[in-house]
Amino acid sequence: MSSVWLPCGDYHQNYVEDQGWWQSKFIKGKMILLLAIVFIGIPSLAVSPEGEYWVSVATMVGYTAMGALGVQLLIGFAGLLTLGHAAFIAVGAYTSTMLVLQFPWPQFIVDWGLAYPISIVAAGVAAGLWSVLFGLPSARVKGFYLILTTMGAQFITVDFVLTQYVSQIGGRGQAFSLPPGTIKIGPWVIESDVQIYYVMAVLLTLMVIVLANLIRSKPGRAWVAIRDNDIAAEALGINIVWYKLLSFFVAGFMAGVAGSFWVCNTAALSPEHFPWFLSLWLVGVILIGGVGSIQGAIFGSIFMVVIMELLQMAAIPIADYYPQVLFSFAYIKDMAFGLAICAFLIYEPNGLAYRWWQAKNYFNLWPFSY
């Protein structure tokens, strides 16, 4: 017997129904509406200059969410603390750039616009393997010591390897220039804000689908068991070293894809795009959005990016009277970031995803939502 809708909720007869993506017509309608907003509604704003601005803001939200998904996997699902995720985003960005600009592709690959799509996968693999390298200490250390290890990944990768060696390839100094028309997917040249947005939307949707299915699979259950109690998980026969390294690879792969996307959103690639503060920012995003929730990474990204944009918009008219406000906006941004984290840890430690869960249950269980 298939599941039916009742006033106090949905009831399922087997595990497959309970884990289904589309558990009721109401949920299916919500998801169709969400996809329509993402793929039709937001791009349609680009008919005006103000709309193009908000499309670019949505693109930054997606880029932040792509980076935060890997952090969510490590911290929220596997219980492995990290403060160096920006390093793996940087590895993905530089791998993709080098493949597009430097690699001698056969002419048909270039003509068909396949160089950049191939580089996205290669960037994910490279970043994933690099992440595993710095995840090896997780076999013996955890907590504060693992934080120091991942911080080491940030400084070794960005400040040493990329800045001192990779950035110097071709005599370019510190930055790789990406001329217009460099990034192609098939016959389409990715250069307008709407095209860049669509690349982000497709990649983010694929990443969410993959991560959601991984969490419901055997590796996902093993990660949660390790997060809750790694000693008990090992006693139950879970190879905790293997699954920890697997989580680092998957998180690094996602970071590499995010870095590869960043390549099509910038005219020049520099190590300055991947500071240590970006790693800290991504951790703050999942703390605000909700640890242990895929939606938390997205909600946290929306909150942080939009709040910072609104602060900047508020600072512009103030700058007419106090010009120093714009010069000190970076410090205002850091202060707002710190205050937001403190406020959520005190007043809403479960994050925005918990409020979303409550609101969703209110409508799903109406009229018996009490």
Domain ranges of the chain: 47-275
Please give the pLDDT value at position 332: 80
Q: What average pLDDT does range 166-172 have in this prediction?
A: 67
Q: Is 186 left (phi over 0), alpha (psi -120 to 50) or beta?
A: left
Mean per-residue pLDDT for 141-157?
88
Specify the pLDDT at position 259: 95
Average pLDDT over residues 310-330: 74
pLDDT of residue 37: 94
Torsion of the alpha carbons at 113, 162, 175 and 54, rounded to the nearest 10: 70
> Which tokens belong to 349?
């430690």
- Percent of the chain at pLDDT > 90 equals 54
Is the pLDDT score of 362 beyond 50?
Answer: yes
pTM: 0.91
Give the DSSP letter string of 181-230: T--EETTEE--SHHHHHHHHHHHHHHHHHHHHHHHTSHHHHHHHHHHH-H
Q: Which residues contact 135 (CB under 8 A, 6 or more apart)?
A: 80, 244, 245, 247, 248, 249
Q: Which residue has the higher pLDDT, 266 or 93?
A: 93
The pLDDT tens digits of the residues spanning 200-241 come to 999 999 999 999 999 989 999 999 999 999 899 999 999 999
Enclosing H/E stretch for 177: strand 176-177
Measured distance CA(272)–CA(8) in Å, rounded = 53
- Residue 1, pLDDT score: 46
Distance CA 157, CA 148 (A): 14
Mean pLDDT of the chain: 87
Q: Kindly indicate the confidence band of residue 326, based on its pLDDT and cuts at 50, 70 and 90.
A: low
Band (316; pLDDT cuts 50, 70, 90): confident
pLDDT in tens, 58-78: 999 999 999 999 999 999 999
Model pLDDT, residue 207: 96
Residues in the chain: 370
Q: Are 256 and 125 in contact (CB under 8 A)?
A: yes
pLDDT grade for 9, boundaries at 50, 70 and 90: low
Q: What is the pLDDT of residue 28?
A: 83
Q: Do residues 279 and 86 make contact, with C-beta atoms less than 8 angstroms apart?
A: yes
Query: pLDDT by residue (tens digit) across 26-59?
Result: 778 888 999 999 999 999 998 888 889 999 999 9
